[in-house]
Amino acid sequence: MNKSLIADALESKSWPFEEAKKILKRIGDNKKNIIFETGYGPSGLPHIGTFGEVARTSMVRFALNVLNPDLKSKIICFSDDMDGLRKVPDNIPNKEILENNLEKPLSSIPDPYGEFKSYADYNNNLLRNFLDRFNFDYEFMSASEQYLSGRFDETLIDILNNYDSIQNIILPTLGEERKKTYSPFLPICKETGKVLMTSVIEIDKKNNSILYLDEVRNKEVETSVLSGNCKLQWKVDWAMRWMALGVDYEMAGKDLIDSVNLSGRICKALDKKPPEGFNYELFLDEKGEKISKSKGNGITIDEWLRYASPESLSLYMFQKPKRAKKLSFDVIPKAVDEYQTFLTKYNDQTDTERLNNPVFHIHNGDPLIFDTPITFSLILNLVNASQADNKETLWGFIKGYIGDVSEDTRIYIDRLLGYAIFYFNDFILPTKKYKTPDDKECELLEELLNRLRALENDVEAETIQTIFYDIGKEANYENLREWFLVLYQILLGQDQGPRLGSFTKLYGIDKTCSLIENAKSKNLG
């Protein structure tokens, strides 16, 4: 990494560099191995928000590597699979399996899909599969394995020895009823296998054990807090992980700000430094509700990748992480085209400008640069007008429009064609509603036909666009957007559309004229 690039990165305001600088300030010259952590609760299927956290953390890790190439680092993707299942998710088959195992650790509940040893194993496998598809560099870690192996024992002893201090931090945040039974330690019942939320009567620091009340059997039970006999309440558990694993950085959703603060206070009570991080805003579904793994609302990874490129998804995660964003299907076309725009700009930018370009962070500083002379939105409108259901037909229109392009560009456009066909059939076709032109509009369409037919086939797209503008002006539309809205509704059956000059050039003047004639024929006057 050249010194000039490092100097520019230190001045960059791009958020991954801002976060990386916080890490450098935290560690000073005292640490050479940096630990990033992301968390996942496998009580439900991993969703796109989980992906977003890993993607953004990876961007910060790369930014840190740019600023200080001598530092070593890794990302731990931690699964809270020792948590007790409190409710059955809505989007799971064979719900009776989960209903019969409520309150047991996720790692000891049978897999309702019948594919893995446990429900946690099924979800953990999904998590790793979709992270691997994006070539993330991470280390997977299971809470159950770490507890049972004794990896956390030393820190669990510290928690027990500071029991009262931790209680004093947590109890003021709880309601009166919860205060009566709260303890940082949740014993695992040896008879039922359940994670018990019950009163701790005594703690024994000498023997590293607690005495708790088994309310079902109405008896007192003593158990060790080590080696998986107990797990911690999650805010304390979070702090314990930070300390035991030496975590330097972990981001979290805005809804967890209070939890981050409490976990940080617990670290400080044990004379440990909590990690750096920031709180990102939440993703919302089409109804404006927070996406949830238990509800299964919002877009899944597989759904996004059916309609758009992985790079476009990474871009959506990069942009404005502290602003709440809708995560529904209508955001996809814009994300694809914005990625292409940033990629096109990259080649002509200075090194300083590139550090603020999202593709620098998406591709770890080494994006594959190629020109893409056609947008995804334009391809969608081509599918709309042509009703094409295969790539070969679309290539028949596109070849003449794009001219000679590189092999990388051809491969990329071919992918876009496939995405566009799926997207059109699933989202645009079912909602199409054509406007029948009135007599005045038919007159304007006739004039449009006359002027288009007078053009040569090699005319520039801007010349064609001027014709559309001129007819709207001559028709005394006060706002030309109203004129183009009418054209989109009449010709494409939708309220939005492409630059009609570019579209006509792509689709062909003759075929565009046929489209206009067919629209005119719907007028019964």
Taking the C-alpha atoms of residue 298 and residue 54, their distance in angstroms, rounded to an integer, is 18
Q: For residue 157, tell me if it sits in a domain.
A: yes
Task: Supply 85's token pair.
Answer: 């299942």
Comparing C-alpha atoms, which of 432, 445, 411 is closest to residue 522?
445
**pLDDT attached to residue 29:** 80
Could you write out the DSSP letters of every residue in 370-415?
----S-HHHHHHHHHHH---SHHHHHHHHHHHH-S--HHHHHHHHH
**pLDDT attached to residue 283:** 82
Give pLDDT tens digits for 416-460.
Answer: 999 999 999 999 999 999 999 999 999 999 999 999 999 998 899
Q: For residue 310, tell me if it sits in a domain.
A: no
Contacts of the segment 319-322: beta carbons below 8 A, 24+ positions apart: 319/358, 321/15, 321/56, 321/278, 321/280, 321/281, 322/278, 322/279, 322/280, 322/281
**pLDDT attached to residue 324:** 87
Q: Which has more confidence, 458 or 45?
A: 458
Strands 230-232, 209-214: pairing is unpaired
Residue 95: give its domain's CATH number.
3.40.50.620
207-221, 237-251, 275-289: range with highest mean pLDDT: 237-251
Per-residue pLDDT at 510 exceeds 70 = yes
What total number of domains does the chain contain? 2
**pLDDT attached to residue 296:** 57
Taking the C-alpha atoms of residue 383 and residue 307, their distance in angstroms, rounded to an integer, is 14
Per-residue pLDDT at 113 exceeds 70 = yes
User: If pLDDT is split at 50, 70 and 90, which confidence band does 4 have?
Assistant: confident
**The amino acid at 174:** L
CA torsion sign for 325, 327, 331, 335 is: positive
Last residue of a domain, one of 253, 282, 311: 282
Q: For residue 239, tell me if it sits in a domain.
A: yes
DSSP annotation of 435 reads P
**pLDDT attached to residue 45:** 77
Q: For residue 460, tell me if it sits in a domain.
A: yes
Taking the C-alpha atoms of residue 151 and residue 445, their distance in angstroms, rounded to an integer, is 75
Per-residue pLDDT at 297 exceeds 70 = no
**pLDDT attached to residue 370:** 87
Last residue of a domain, one of 265, 282, 299: 282
Per-residue pLDDT at 243 exceeds 70 = yes
Note whether 251 and 241 are within 8 A (CB).
Answer: no
**The amino acid at 450:** N
Q: For residue 326, tell me if it sits in a domain.
A: no
% helix, strand, coil for the chain, step of 5: 55, 10, 35
Q: Which domain holds residue 262?
A: 3-171+233-282
Give pLDDT tens digits for 307-356.
Answer: 999 999 999 999 999 998 888 888 999 999 999 999 999 989 999 999 99
Last residue of a domain, one of 242, 258, 282: 282
Q: What angle (nearest 5°) sits at the alpha carbon of residue 290, between those of residues 288 and 296?
A: 110
C-alpha distance across the termini of the chain, in Å: 71
Per-residue pLDDT at 291 exceeds 90 = no
Task: Supply 197's token pair.
Answer: 């939320």
Q: 500-507 vs 461-474: helix axis angle to the nearest 10?
A: 130
Average pLDDT over residues 182-192: 95
Residue 352's H or E segment, with its range, is helix 351-354
User: If pLDDT is split at 50, 70 and 90, which confidence band does 302 have?
Assistant: confident
Residue 480: give its domain's CATH number.
1.10.10.350
Give pLDDT tens digits for 63-101.
Answer: 999 999 999 999 999 999 999 999 998 888 999 999 999
Q: For residue 426, tell me if it sits in a domain.
A: no
Taking the C-alpha atoms of residue 479 and residue 491, their distance in angstroms, rounded to an integer, is 19
Q: What is the mean pLDDT of the chain?
A: 93
CA dihedral 170, 176, 180, 183 (to 10 degrees): -20
State the residue for tokens 């009580």. Answer: 43
Q: For residue 137, tell me if it sits in a domain.
A: yes
Flag the least confident range among 250-264, 281-295, 499-513. Answer: 281-295
Q: For residue 457, tell me if it sits in a domain.
A: yes
Task: Supply 414's token pair.
Answer: 């071919």
Q: Which has more confidence, 302 or 276?
A: 276
DSSP annotation of 426 reads I
**pLDDT attached to residue 298:** 66
Taking the C-alpha atoms of residue 489 and residue 221, their distance in angstroms, rounded to an integer, is 73
Comparing C-alpha atoms, which of 189, 263, 197, 202 is closest to residue 228?
189
Residue 311's H or E segment, with its range, is helix 310-318
* Total count of residues recorded for the chain: 525
**pLDDT attached to residue 290:** 73
**pLDDT attached to residue 289:** 74
Give pLDDT tens digits for 350-404.
Answer: 999 999 999 999 999 999 988 889 999 999 999 999 999 999 999 999 998 998 9
Average pLDDT over residues 213-235: 93
